[in-house]
Amino acid sequence: MKQDDGDRKLPFPQFDVVSDFSDHHFMNSGYSSISKLGKSCFKAMSKEWRILRESLPESIFVRVSETRFDLLRAAIIGAAGTPYHDALFFFDIVVPASYPREPPKVHYFSHGYRINPNLYSDGLVCLSLLNTWMGRRNEQWNAKQSTLLQVLLSLQSLVLNEKPYYNEPGRRLYGNEKASEYYNQEVFFLTCKTTLNLIRYPPRNFEALIRHHFRERANTILSACDAYANGRVAVGFYGSKGSGPSKFEVKRQFQVNMERVYPQLFAEFRRLEACVPPAGDRLVVEQKSPLAIANKKPKKGYFKKMIGKIKDILGFTNKNGKKASSKV
């Protein structure tokens, strides 16, 4: 979507140039420096800046250093219908001196959490487009066609997707939907923990975005925490146009985790002066919710009865030569 500054003013510009990037992950990494960038790289970066300035979607924000324009920082809003919805995710980017022959290097602000098979707790980003993961030739970096915008859109749509469990190679063959649902629950919890860290320790030049964004989304995030913990809707589907699965289970550990993180989120949102209910600082998990029933252990003797029934069907006999009975 093209941004027209004359028609609409965002509280936080989507693309801007900043002077202080001292906390950038690649500032002193040795990957690149302004003195090493060649003429072809300068030309390519000028084109990239123009593309980003004109074509960023409303859910992605980028800052570029005015003294080191090989350094960029991007914030991506998690999309609706995913376990990442309404959260912010940050990436530091450096353009190598050989750009565009080689892809950019990308570091994810993980805060020590693994929220996705493609995003490691140490900040490593595995993506075919970055040549950090194997993939078909048409998925890898192409010096003539690939762009930084394409990288950001891939992170948003292909990595931060509705079922990240299946991003792990092989899971589409041996994985299952229940495991995917459980994974989304863990991802949502870790995303809430990430939100806490972003509010407490905002990346430089994005302080205003973080304050504005979570002021606006606070109630939605808290309501989603309540809905997910009480099993009223599957993780990722709160406020989404999709109906989600009609049957799903919620782990008790997820409930416990949400009960712990909810008051912390509430306190941080209040500190940002978000409009949250004054009495809503605790998450109440309903004891007789669908998820509680789904997580109940089978009654004692259940498996013994089932084995007895199977023996009856197959005609097995006991030690006395009599037909086995399912009665216990």
Burial state string for 56-69 with b = 16 or more CB within 10 A and e = fewer than 16? beebbbbbbbeebb
Q: Give the C-alpha separation, 146 to 149, whole Å.
A: 8
Q: Is residue 285 exposed (0-12), middle (13-18) or buried (19+ Cβ within 10 Å)? A: middle
Give the single-character DSSP code of 129. G
Is 192 in the active site? Answer: no
Q: Among residues 126, 192, 225, 275, which one is catalytic?
A: 126
Q: Give the C-alpha separation, 31 to 265, whole Å.
A: 37
Number of CB atoms found within 10 A of residue 248's CB:
20
Main-chain phi, psi angles of 141, to 5 degrees: -60, 135
Q: Give the C-alpha separation, 193 to 22, whole Å.
A: 25
Report the DSSP beta bridge partners of residue 71. 94
CA proximity to 249, closest of 285, 291, 289, 287: 291
For 294-305, the DSSP string reads HTPPPPTTHHHH
* Catalytic residue IDs: 126
